Each structure stands twice: as C-alpha cells, then as structure tokens.
Copies of this chain bind each other. A is one copy, B any other.
Amino acid sequence: MSDTAPAAPQPIFTSDNTAGACEEIVRAVSAAAAGQDLPYGADRSTDGVRARFAEVFECDVDVLPVSTGSAANALSLAALTPPWGSVLCHRDSHINTDECGAPEFFTGGAKLVGLPGDDAKIDADQLRAAAGRKAGDVHSVQPSVVSITQATETGALYTLDEIRSLGLVAQDAGLRVHMDGARFANAVAALGCTPAELTWRAGVDVLSFGATKNGTMTADAVVVFDRTLTPELSFRAKRSGQLTSKMRFQSAQLDAYLTDGLWLRNAAHANAMAARLGDGLKALPGAELLHAVEANILFCRLPQPVVDRLLAEGFAFYHDRWGPGVCRFVTSFSTTEHDVDAFLTAVRRLTT
C-alpha cells in the first residue's frame, strides 16, 4: 500500500455481485427463520411469491427459485431444447463463455452457437440466417432456442422493438425464446416499459430472473410464461439439486424484492450511479467513454499509468480484457454517490 492509499476500503467496481444484500431482504430472511413450515415450496410464503410475480408480469406464471443465475439459465435451456438442438446466442453471452458448460450439461449435450453482434446484442438478420441453417438435416444439431441477454453482458439494452424483432424471427423459425435476465431489473428500470412487454408479450417463453446482483442474497428464479414447461422444469430442478427444502428462505427474499417496487428502486439507483460515473468521466480530458451508459455497466478508456495508479490506490475494476487502457465499471444498488465521487476525484487528480 502506498502512502496515498486511504484507510477505508475503496469501492469495488468489478461487478454488481460484490454488493451484499439490501436491508429489506435481510429483514425478510430474518422473519422467515421463525417457526415451523412445510418444505419444498409448500410453505406459506412460496404461494405468495407466485402471486407477486403474476402481478408484476401481468399474467399467470410459474416460478422456480434457484440458487444461481447459471442454474436458472441452464434449467431454462434444458426445458427448451432437445439434446440434439442448438441454442442460438451471442458469442459473448454469459451462457456461452462463463458458465463452464452448464447449459451443455443440463441439456444433455446441446450445442451453443455463438452469433456476432455489437454490444453483445444479437442481430435479427444474423439470427434469421442461423435459425435456418441445416434445419431438418439429421447430420446437424437443430436450431431450437434463442437466448437473449437483457441487459447484455456489456450493459447495453435491447430496445423493446429489438426484442420484438427477435421474437418474431424466433416465431417464424420455430425457435423457443429464453431471456437471460441476470440484470433484468436494470433493463426494466432504464427502458421504462413493462416487464410484460419485455418478455411474454414479445415472445419470451422462459425468463432467468436475476435478483442476486440487485439486492437478494442467493435467490434468483426461473419465471415460466409457457406453463406447459413447468412439470419438466420441476423434475429437472429437483434432479439438479435446485429444489431446496427450506424454500421459504428463497421465497422470502423474492417476495421482499418484488414488494413496493424494491427491485426497480434498487436497479434505478444502480443505473443512476453508472450515469453519474459516466457523466463525471466524460468531463475529464484523459477519460474516453466508449459507449453511452444504458444500465449499470460502463466502459471507459484511461491512460495506462492512471489505471495502474488507481489500482495501486485500492480501487478495483476489470481492465485487462478489452484492449489497452479499457476499463469496465459496474455499479449496484449499494454503490453510493460518495463511492462514485471518490473515484472521480481520484481520476481527476491523476489525469489533470
């Protein structure tokens, strides 16, 4: 540690998974701990969660709490593709690059086909071409699902029209539609359209509903719009070790998360912190913002000595994966204005 390093820990911008859990979630979990209740989702709170999701999504849905986003994605895909199917996704999507083959494992060996596209977004024309490739040819895996990440891995957003376009291509080609919503709340908060519009009304069959990055502890969920898939998903969830006996602890988190708009408040805050960071960086001569800030992820190029210095001072962010000086910053519900400003102050000091 150099002598300029502050005593208090510096904020971490590597990912929104570095946040803890928000107060409302903690209180809900604590309250859920008391008393006896039935296991495996037969408890008093789990039914309420389903109703809560139905309200948020304006339709009957089924909900399977899971312990990770990878489990949500892999389970969803397994219910949407046969083992000889292919999953069309962006080549930089989390399912393709960061889940150690979980989709391949859960699906019994389906193939992920990575499509190109700016900002980790799938282009409708690319999807159309891929969806028709070798359809019906017994020598080839069969295009079966498209998986859309909203917000994307780079923090970009599909517009509602873009989602609808992908949905129509999928419909035409007979593909099922999965949405990886690890940061779904950030997308809803930023786009100002309804959860229903972004999902089932645009053709989404199953949603990986992320909550952990946005305030819960270890509770995410599979939200099922095509409810004919629910029995299969239930067996697959049990069989993959995802059916918890004390489901009440997941349900309590999800319930609190959806109560009184907590999920959208948290997400809006995270987005606002990214915007504040982006605005601050834009004003600095040495920093070059690489994209418009749409959700809670921001890419910026900084002079390498500045990067090195920031790291030495204890700020944490990813910086060595995208080219010289390109840094990624992720904000969360727990990021404070003080965190952002402390960072901006340091950059300003180092660049001017």
Q: Which residues of A contact B (CB under 8 A)?
A: 9, 11-12, 14-15, 17-23, 25-26, 29-30, 32-40, 66-72, 74-75, 82-84, 97-102, 104-112, 138-142, 212-213, 217-218, 232, 234-236, 238-246, 248-250, 334
Q: Complex Cα distance A141/B95, Å? A: 11
Contact of A29 among B34, B105, B217 (CB under 8 A): B217
Kindly provide the distance from the CB of A325 to the nearest chain B CB, expressed in whole angstroms: 21
| Interface pair A245/B20, CB less than 8 Å apart | no
Closest to A97 in B: B140
Kindly provide the distance from the CB of A301 to the nearest chain B CB, expressed in whole angstroms: 23
Kindly provide the distance from the CB of A329 to the nearest chain B CB, expressed in whole angstroms: 13
| Interface pair A238/B67, CB less than 8 Å apart | no
With A18-B38, A20-B33, A218-B249 already in contact, the answer to whether A242 and B83 are too (CB < 8 A) is: no
With A104-B109, A140-B97, A213-B245 already in contact, the answer to whether A36 and B15 are too (CB < 8 A) is: no
| Interface pair A20/B36, CB less than 8 Å apart | yes
Q: Complex Cα distance A3/B232, Å? A: 42
Number of copies: 4
| Interface pair B100/A109, CB less than 8 Å apart | no
* A99 / chain B contacts, CB cutoff of 8 Å: 139, 238-239
Kindly provide the distance from the CB of A112 to the nearest chain B CB, expressed in whole angstroms: 7
| Interface pair A105/B140, CB less than 8 Å apart | no
Kindly provide the distance from the CB of A229 to the nearest chain B CB, expressed in whole angstroms: 12
User: Which of A72, A140, A141, A245 gathers the greatest number of chain B CB atoms within 10 Å?
Assistant: A245
| Interface pair A241/B101, CB less than 8 Å apart | no
20 contacts between A and B (CB under 8 A): A9-B35, A18-B36, A19-B36, A20-B32, A20-B33, A21-B246, A26-B29, A26-B33, A68-B241, A68-B244, A69-B245, A74-B241, A82-B232, A83-B101, A97-B140, A99-B238, A102-B238, A106-B241, A109-B239, A138-B234
Q: Complex Cα distance A104/B111, Å? A: 7
With A9-B36, A37-B18, A235-B142 already in contact, the answer to whether A101 and B105 are too (CB < 8 A) is: no
